[in-house]
Amino acid sequence: MTDIILIRHGETDWNRELRFQGQVDVPLNATGHEQARRLAQRLAQEAVVAHHLVSSDLVRTRQTAQPVLGALLPQLHIDNLTDPDLREQNFGLVDGMRVQDIKDQHPDAWARWLCFAPDSGMPGGETTQQFHARVIGALQRLAQQHAGQTLVVVTHGGVLDMVWRTAQGLGLSGPRQSDIPNAALNRVRLRPGAIDILHWADTRHLQGLPAQPVYDQTRLQGAGGAPPADR
């Protein structure tokens, strides 16, 4: 059994510009840095006990992890600090593109995307099934390596969606059903064959900051393609 504190990276300009960020290396903006600072401050104030920290190797997660690392030292072991298997989904040809540009330049791919089918993905990218296998495999591997401990994982919105679906016994088809704010605290427990959600989308430390872009995939289908905030 392993407890994992899951953290989505702080905000980037591309969140605000409503792009498919995917695996493009986009840094935090000023709000994202403040979110990360507040997150670290809360963890320090609550004297959260954690043994290891690992993040995606993309810059927005590493920048979010840095103040967290400072807040939790000296208790943390920081070997193998980054893991590329914790990256966001690969969207291939459309990584970094705005939704309207995808609709204009790749209408067939956009139409397939709106079906939210597990075996579908953007051209040159991962399918949802491939992405899910990568994410859950990485978390299971980390849980086995750190059995009986608490692990901090700094990652991406799509990764947390895969965790939520797995924990709730949901399939991979259909739109996202969980709230996944930037720099929120999410805590899960991995045990053989199961993921238990202990708490989710806790943003009390972010009060007073600008409202976050909301990625509502249910609106994508109903409105013909309202843009995502991150994926």
Q: Which two tokens stand for residue 206?
A: 């972010």
The CA distance from 91 to 12, in Å, is: 18
Cis peptide before 74 (omega within 30 of 0): yes
Task: List CB contacts of 218: < 8 A, sequence separation 6 or more.
Answer: 175, 176
Known catalytic membership, residue 88 = yes
34 annotated ligand-binding residue: no
Q: Which residue has the tokens 């990625």?
A: 215
10 annotated ligand-binding residue: yes
Choosing from 88, 132, 146, 156, the catalytic residue is: 88
Choosing from 9, 33, 52, 205, the catalytic residue is: 9
11 annotated ligand-binding residue: yes
Q: What is the DSSP string of 40-103?
A: HHHHHHTT---SEEEE-SSHHHHHHHHHHHHHHTTT-B-TT-B-GGGSPPP-GGGTT-BHHHHH
Q: What is the DSSP string of 138-191?
A: HHHHHHHHTTTSEEEEEE-HHHHHHHHHHHHT--S-S---S---TT-EEEEEEE
29 annotated ligand-binding residue: no
62 annotated ligand-binding residue: no
82 annotated ligand-binding residue: no
110 annotated ligand-binding residue: no
186 annotated ligand-binding residue: no
Known catalytic membership, residue 9 = yes
15 annotated ligand-binding residue: yes
Residue list for the binding site for substrate: 8-15, 60
Residue list for the binding site: 8-15, 60
Instruction: Enumerate the active-site residues.
Output: 9, 88
